[in-house]
Amino acid sequence: MSKILTEPGTLWQQVSVPGWYGMGERKIEIAAATAVWHHSGLPAVPIRWVLIRDPESRFDPQSLLCTDPARDPTQIVTCLILS
């Protein structure tokens, strides 16, 4: 994922996340795609990955994984923040 963070061709989308850890709305940038998770001895699992970065550089980039590849990336981020 670190290569994707620094790749000039990565498409970042700015989104507003309501209730950012109980502190109100926060603008972040996300990049997302689907992939296949391989684990030795188990069947492959389709996943959606989401990279998050802060345009204000107040937190380090984060990566999230979801086993529902159809899930919207903004929903994945929101579920994490609100849980």
Could you report the per-residue pLDDT of 58-68, keeping only the tens digit for each?
889 999 999 99
Q: Residue ranges of the domains in the chain?
A: 2-82
Q: Would you call 69 helix, strand, or coil by DSSP?
A: coil
Specify the pTM: 0.85
Confidence class of residue 5 from pLDDT cuts 50, 70 and 90?
confident
**Phi and psi at residue 41, to the nearest 5°:** 85, -5
